[in-house]
Structure 1
Amino acid sequence: MDRHATLFRIEDGIARLTLARPEQLNSFTVQMHAEVASALEAVAEDASVRVLLITGAGRGFCAGQDLGERKVDAGPLDLGVNIEKYYNPLIRRLVAVRVPVVCAVNGVAAGAGVNIALACDIVIARRSAKFVQAFSSIGLVPDAGGTWNLPRAIGQARALGFTLTGEPVSAERAESWGLIWKAVDDDRFDDEVENLVRRLASAPTRGLELAKRAIRGAQLRTLDAQLDVERDSQRECGLTDDYREGVTAFKEKRPARFTGS
């Protein structure tokens, strides 16, 4: 068993979760699932958290499932049990995080690693990073929400080509497709990620929470229903200290000092 499969800390309103099995390209084990679940629970319970950053240690972000844990020689496996016990709860927890979730893809993201990244709110990647839907090479179907997120992000044609061929997609192409938010030159990547998470940590937290909730749910609603969501969200935001501070700062021509309340 790994001593630690992840690294996690909360400081200055920023929760930082690092997948930390670099020699195995941060592939998921049962232990890593448990540690990630514990970290996401800590984020949910800590009101001081205003942004969550997820990244990987070493040269890769995440290679998906650690196939070393799959004992295929022992006979047929019911992979649905593994999905139901580990990956489905992981994705549900990720999308339910109330604050913005930034995924910093520092290297290759493959298999479930791609789809875990896509479950986050903002994905920023090194220009040298690559994305690979590797499931077809071992006779599997994308999991971790991939079949839901991919066609919505890049359309059916690209989603099918990306999935069925298993061809790598560069970070630059992923950005042009709308698969990720931004591809950044490698030598600027760390600074760009840090600037982004600090900016979000100092933003009006409740407004961001309601905005991401409205956008994530929009595809499941009619226009009329979505207009009602916007009305109710705006009403709630208008009662916050951060809204008053934002308007006051605008009138006084100074930077706003948001507290997240």
Structure 2
Amino acid sequence: MDASVLFSIEDQVACITLNRPAKLNSFNREMALLLQQLLHTCHTSPEVRCVHITGAGKGFSAGQDLAEVTDPDGPGMQRILSEHYNPVILQIRRLGKPVVAAVNGVAAGAGANIALCCDIVLAAENASFIQAFSKIGLIPDSGGTFFLPRLIGWQKASALAMLGDKVSAAEAAQMGMIYKTLPEENFTAQTMAIAKQLATMPTHALALIKQAMNSSLSNTLETQLHQEDQLQQQAARTADFKEGIQAFMEKRTPVFTGS
């Protein structure tokens, strides 16, 4: 039996593929825990400088596998969020490397919110996003009530959470929910090209950008300005900063090592 999450490393990009295509890559416990393990590998591996997450088949992820929710021997709702999804969201946000979500089809429920917590979200033109929770009497989880209002504003986020409207990739890009859409043809190659570009960039600086963005979600302006000062000083001490300056002066393309 194939693993529920596939993993490989290509040109310093960790390729993570949600792999339950017959279930539109809906999550069960095995899949969620395996994804956590692989994200930890991405955190610790010096070979990895960027992470690319996509789905096998026609969907990115339809969210939680409801068969597991109704299974009397399953983990139950009292464990699904705390043990399955919340650790994944925190791992992605704390990972000191850029994470690209390549949304190749439907992203619903927790599947949508896992995508939206990533650093750069790219969607195929045929993809869609659905906050499907209210349709079965639940609330958006996996950071949905945190990220969505910050991405698209209170009114749109509230309406999408309550109504459960299907949002096309084009609409998602227009409202600022995602970075951009790409043609369905050669979608994976195009998103991997962006991930590989990130992997050649000054990795430490990208990690500091991510740290600053995370802090901005709760900092005051004064506190954020102070943190920018501190992080900028860290960035200025890296070998990549020295290389960037030297390459600029010599009118050549810099070669960053992530140090």
When normalised by structure 1's length, the TM-score is 0.95
Q: What is the CA distance between 1:219 and its match in structure 2?
A: 2.2
For residues 94-130 of structure 1, the C-alpha deviation after alignment (integer angstroms, 9 at most, x for no partner) is: 1111100000000000111110001110000001101
Corresponding position of 1:161: 159
Please tell me the residue identity of whatever aligns with 2:43. Answer: A
In the other structure, the counterpart of 1:173 is 171
Deviation for aligned residue 1:191: 3.0
Q: Which runs of 5+ in 2 are unaligned?
A: none
Deviation at 1:11, TM superposition (A): 3.1
Matches within 5 A, 1:52-63: 52-63=51-62
Aligned length: 258
Give 1:49's aligned amino acid.
V
Shift of 1:81: 2.5
Give runs of aligned pairs for residues 1-261 of structure 1, distance below 5 A: 3-71=2-70, 79-261=77-259
Displacement of 1:190 in angstroms is 2.5
Comparing 80-89 and 197-206, the one that deviates more = 80-89
> For residues 204-241 of structure 1, what are the alpha-carbon distances to aligned partners after superposition, in whole Å with 9 as ceiling and x for unaligned?
00001001110121121111111111111111111111
SS at 1:124 equivalent: strand
SS in structure 2 at match of 1:128:
coil
Alignment partners' CA distance in 1, 2:76 and 2:51: 33
- Identity, in percent, stands at 44
| Secondary structure, aligned partner of 2:170 | helix
**Deviation sequence 1:123-150 (CA, Å, 0-9, x none):** 0000110111111111111110001111
Structure 1 runs, 4 residues or longer, greater than 4 Å off: none
Give distance in 1, aligned partners of 2:76 and 2:2. Answer: 28
Alpha-carbon distance in 2 for matches of 1:29, 1:121: 24
Deviations 1:149-204 (A, max 9, x none): 11111111101111111110000000011100011121252332121011100000
Asked if the contact 2:25–2:56 (Cα under 8 Å) also holds between the matched residues in 1, the reply is: yes
| RMSD (CA atoms) | 1.5
Shifted more, 161-170 versus 81-90: the winner is 81-90
Task: Give the Cα separation in 2 of the matches to 1:249 and 1:23.
Answer: 49
